[in-house]
Copies of this chain bind each other. A is one copy, B any other.
């Protein structure tokens, strides 16, 4: 018991990972707002504003729209355990770690059958394979991961909606990596349940998972014959706190709610569409810079590339961990390695929300050039930065940098 734990002396990082990523200083100020009780009249009114902002982010008028008190993985659990009842069948499209996670979590609901329709990591699942898997079955929902952060792949939601309509299934979409970073319109795209995370393109700290439930899904939840197996993630009761009644269920992470509100305000100061354009523009600059350094993109088809996460093969001749460690130690930049079968093989560079700014990309490319050179790779110093600058030199200022 004698070990002394001193003051918190955290390093300053530029977090260019697929989340959590660096966030706007304004959000820290909101985060540190002195607590107000979750049953306080001021708080129960204020969270109505958070719901208004979340509806704008999801582009929905869904009544049931609120942040779940858990990380994005908690959002996955809520999304699948709520619609499933004993005996149900569902399809999950699996093309990476997080879509795999959705299938695994759904499989923990007893006496249900979860059909996995797979694609190789780095590709999208073929909607026609889903159609085949659904044939002759009563499918409760089709689960799709919109942005697979483990690979940097974006999936075409509309194609899966079409299949879901044909087979009479609900559509559940994991938008953890895409909300506020890429085009997504829950109402127009007829998504029945969609969830995200606070720590990605919304650019708030991790800790909550915004979710929205469409009218058809709400009806399914209200008509359940058995209780949801998870009490904590039971939307049929949590939505009472976030509904008109504000009935106590559990204590939400109040500080994260404050931060989420501020982060969403920043999103709408810029505007959703302008933000999407900025994410795409900055990714193009990043990709140009990486390719100029001879680094190969992991996702072969350009249209499948997630604007918020760019994955590349670790160049031959350097060691994954050593490059990332030097970037961290020397420049304070964190990028992510691969997970699962891609461990040691790819890097994943996140450009989400606040991080998606020209100044970060130019700094990162310069740092990467220095590190690769140190590690013995023959790169031409300035080539990556130069290629990115050429992309930016033709771009509208608003699409390049931060809104402030």
Please, which residues of chain B bring their CB within 8 A of the CB of A3? 52
CB distance B12 to A37 under 8 Å?
Answer: no
Known: A251-B197, A339-B248. A20 touches B38 (CB 8 A): yes
Expressed in whole angstroms, the minimum distance between the Cβ of A332 and any Cβ of chain B is: 10
Expressed in whole angstroms, the minimum distance between the Cβ of A145 and any Cβ of chain B is: 15
Known: A19-B251, A31-B32, A37-B17. A261 touches B8 (CB 8 A): yes
- Interface membership of A336, Cβ < 8 A: yes
Known: A36-B11, A37-B15, A262-B8. A205 touches B20 (CB 8 A): no
Main secondary structure of the interface of A (DSSP, over half): loop
Interface residues of A in 80-114 (CB under 8 A from B): 101, 104-105, 108-110
Please, which residues of chain B bring their CB within 8 A of the CB of A249? 73
Known: A73-B231, A197-B251, A231-B104. A258 touches B17 (CB 8 A): no
Expressed in whole angstroms, the minimum distance between the Cβ of A154 and any Cβ of chain B is: 20
CB distance B328 to A40 under 8 Å?
Answer: yes
CB distance A30 to B5 under 8 Å?
Answer: no
CA gap between A69 and B71 in the complex, in Å: 7
Please, which residues of chain B bring their CB within 8 A of the CB of A46? 8, 10
CB distance B20 to A37 under 8 Å?
Answer: yes
CB distance A35 to B8 under 8 Å?
Answer: no
Known: A69-B71, A205-B254. A13 touches B31 (CB 8 A): no
Please, which residues of chain B bring their CB within 8 A of the CB of A52? 3, 5
CB distance A73 to B8 under 8 Å?
Answer: no
CA gap between A82 and B344 in the complex, in Å: 33
- Interface membership of A221, Cβ < 8 A: no
Q: Count how many chain A residues have C-beta atoms less than 8 Å from C-beta atoms of the other chain.
A: 82
CB distance B252 to A206 under 8 Å?
Answer: yes
- Interface membership of A218, Cβ < 8 A: no
Where the two chains meet, the residues of A that have a C-beta atom closer than 8 Å to any C-beta of B are: 1, 3, 5, 7-8, 10-13, 15, 17, 19-20, 22-23, 28-42, 46, 49, 52-53, 56, 69-74, 76-77, 101, 104-105, 108-110, 197, 199, 205-207, 227-233, 248-256, 258-259, 261-262, 264-265, 268, 325, 328, 334, 336, 339
Give the residue among A77, A110, A255 with the most B Cβ atoms within 10 A.
A255
Give the residue among A30, A46, A251 with the most B Cβ atoms within 10 A.
A251
CA gap between A351 and B10 in the complex, in Å: 32
So how many copies of this chain end up in the complex?
A: 2
CB distance B53 to A36 under 8 Å?
Answer: no
CA gap between A36 and B69 in the complex, in Å: 21
Expressed in whole angstroms, the minimum distance between the Cβ of A111 and any Cβ of chain B is: 9
Known: A35-B22, A206-B251, A207-B207. A49 touches B199 (CB 8 A): no
Please, which residues of chain B bring their CB within 8 A of the CB of A13? 34-37, 40
CB distance B336 to A39 under 8 Å?
Answer: yes
Give the residue among A17, A37, A41, A230 with the most B Cβ atoms within 10 A.
A37
30 pairs, CB–CB < 8 Å, chain A vs chain B: A5-B265, A8-B30, A8-B258, A10-B34, A13-B37, A15-B36, A19-B251, A20-B37, A28-B34, A31-B31, A31-B32, A31-B255, A69-B207, A71-B250, A71-B252, A71-B253, A72-B250, A73-B232, A104-B231, A105-B231, A105-B232, A108-B227, A109-B229, A199-B251, A205-B253, A205-B255, A206-B254, A230-B233, A248-B339, A253-B253
CA gap between A358 and B336 in the complex, in Å: 49
Q: Which of B10, B197, B256 contacts A207 (CB 8 A)?
A: B256
